[in-house]
Amino acid sequence: MPNKVKAGFFSFTEVLDGRHREYNEWHLFDHMPENFKLEGLQWGQRWVATPDLVERRLSAKGGLAASRYVTLYLLTDPLRQALDEFRALGRTLDSLGRFFKARRSHLSGPFRFIKAYAAPRILIDAEAIPYRPNRGVFVTVQDHVEDVTDSALDEARQWYDRVHIADLLSVRGVAGCWWFEAVGDTNPRGRTVRVYWLDDDPVAFHDDLQAKTHTFSMMDLSKAYSTLLVGTYRSIPWGSSFDWFD
């Protein structure tokens, strides 16, 4: 059965003026619940890059280096209608004074679902991974390099699909991976986001990743991809005090 999820809408967000508590309360108790009533919205979650995880980032370029939150909504067909209703709700809430202004999104927009993977230890289907409880996500964001050739891109994509993702699925806490690529005109063609779902503490994941990296098969990706972000984010419990940056 094909995945009913057709796209993910991402937002990599910086909160301004230190207003993290206000932002989190608005998003958890006002903004996200309103979005869940939309027919084309299947699921959504938001995570935070706490200071200890920012220190462990493997790469962060440009505005993405300032992102401390990432939000992902999963959307179903008809995708255009789902996106239109999603954006229309945002405009409506803004007109009612219910949109948090002290924020800056450094990357946002729809990304088409490409493929799902599950770690061998996980019994559920790979396409059910997001609905399983998680303690965080490991996220990579890449662009195609300028003048990339089809052969270079195909080689890199096959390496991720057959080799690298399998290596990462062996790291402590990694439950699965979903691969997305940009659609529409809000992101460069081919921009790629891969989300690895973690069911163990992100710090434990980083420690095991560091211990295992030397055993992984490596490839020169410079002819295919430019990496923008490689880092982890924690799940946000609704009862959190939201004081990570105080």
Span 71-83, pLDDT tens digits? 999 999 999 999 9
| Listed residue (88, 121, 110) closest to 10, CA to CA | 110
Strand-pair partners of 23: none
Average pLDDT, rounded, for the chain: 96
At 216, the amino acid letter reads F
pLDDT digits (tens, 9 = 90+) for 142-166: 999 999 999 999 999 999 999 999 9
pLDDT digits (tens, 9 = 90+) for 62-73: 999 999 999 999
Question: Does a structural domain hold residue 241?
Answer: no
The C-alpha atoms of residue 110 and residue 183 are separated, in whole angstroms, by: 6
Would you state the structure tokens that stand for residue 208, as one six-digit string?
């095991």
Q: Is the pLDDT of residue 2 over 90?
A: no
Question: Does a structural domain hold residue 246?
Answer: no
Question: Does a structural domain hold residue 243?
Answer: no
183 — pLDDT class (breaks 50, 70, 90): confident
Question: Does a structural domain hold residue 23?
Answer: yes
Question: Does a structural domain hold residue 240?
Answer: no
Domain that holds residue 150: 5-235
Question: Does a structural domain hold residue 147?
Answer: yes
pTM, whole model, 2 decimals?
Answer: 0.97
The C-alpha atoms of residue 70 and residue 72 are separated, in whole angstroms, by: 7
Rounded mean pLDDT, 31-43: 96
Question: Does a structural domain hold residue 206?
Answer: yes
pLDDT at position 19: 97
Q: What is the CATH number of the domain that holds 176?
A: 3.30.70.100
**b/e string for 102-140 if b means 16 or more Cβ within 10 A?**
ebeebbebbbbbeebbbbeebeeebbebbeeebbbbbbb
- Residue 33 main-chain phi, psi, to 5 deg: -60, -40
| Listed residue (21, 49, 32, 29) closest to 241, CA to CA | 21
Total domain count for the chain? 1
